[in-house]
Amino acid sequence: KQQMARGLPKQKPITGVKQVIVVASGKGGVGKSTTAVNLALGLMAIDRSKSVGLLDSDVYGPSIPKLMNLKGNPELNNRMIPLINYGVPCMSMGFLVEDASPIVWRGLMVMSAIERLVRQVDWGSLDYLVVDMPPGTGDVQLSITQNIPIAGAVIVSTPQDVALLDARRGAEMFKKVNVPVLGLVQNMSVFQCPNCHHQTHIFGSNGARQLAETIGVRFLGDIPLHLNIREMSDKGQPIVVSSPDSSEVSATAVVRKLP
Ligand code: ADP
């Protein structure tokens, strides 16, 4: 009722999906997709009875196919069947376009692609759908937050000022559209030299932790800048599944802090 009063479109749940968690960032390149993937796998890792799906809503720069080592055609008749790896069904624009072909679309085409990804995919039954959002606070983000009931948003930022500024904008957007911000993840927080073990805060230290305090959202944890995370991501073997016991796997720790 409140939404109708404010003129927002009526929200409709995604068929079969109990809770939608969006992973967002203000800027690109801060590790949002990597975090989304590891969050989905982390959710499953801490409770094997839960079913978790992953939706890549970054139509311009879909990275889930590579991160989840998936390729193939999800189309079946008029529906789309998610492709599955590591037990997680995934859907991405990347499955529907050629690898190197640029996506040169006007806003309306992007919106209809999003509509398809959101409404025409057969997820079966999912406890959680983790949505990897495009960076920023544009049309796609607004339309997703207005059209689907969202349990909460996880915001990823590096400790760097420019990233934090945009992360703050992201948090404000979610507040405006009444999506609870579950918390802030500080990615690439520290680099430890593998030889001398000296620690360097390449992007500054603790910026995201401070921002979380300032804007009154939960701080979900630090993820270090680590060679393994980058290498395993590039191989399509997310760190939560490839080295579940390593110290750099803070993703499961992050999941445990989710409200
Ligand atoms: P975004 O989704 O914000 O654009 P990505 O998740 O694609 O960012 O990450 C950008 C790049 O940084 C990728 O090459 C990824 O492997 C790398 N990366 C992300 N997080 C880390 C980390 N904690 N340590 C090392 N490399 C990382």
pLDDT in tens, 63-109: 999 999 999 999 888 889 999 999 999 999 999 887 667 677 788 88
Which atom of ligand 1 approaches the CA of 234 most closely? 16
Name residue, tokens 């927080």. 189
ipTM here: 0.99
Which atom of ligand 1 approaches the CA of 37 most closely? 6
**Residue 121 DSSP one-character state:** B
Evaluate: CB of 223 within 6 angstroms of ligand 1.
yes
Cα-flanking dihedrals φ and ψ of residue 224, to 5°? -70, 160
CATH code (residue 202) = 3.40.50.300
Query: What whole-number distance in Å separates Cα of residue 24 and Cα of residue 21?
Result: 10
Give how many domains the chain has, as a whole number: 1
User: H or E stretch including 229?
Assistant: helix 227-234
Evaluate: CB of 24 within 6 angstroms of ligand 1.
no
* pLDDT at residue 251 is higher than 70: no
Provide the mean pLDDT of the chain.
88
Structural domain including 234 reads 2-257
C-alpha to C-alpha distances, 25 to 47, 156, 161, 166, nearest whole angstrom: 26, 5, 13, 7
Q: Which residues pair with 121 in a beta bridge?
A: 80
* 194-216 confidence digits (pLDDT tens): 899 899 999 988 898 999 999 99
pLDDT on residue 132 = 97
* 123-154 confidence digits (pLDDT tens): 999 999 999 999 998 889 988 998 999 999 99
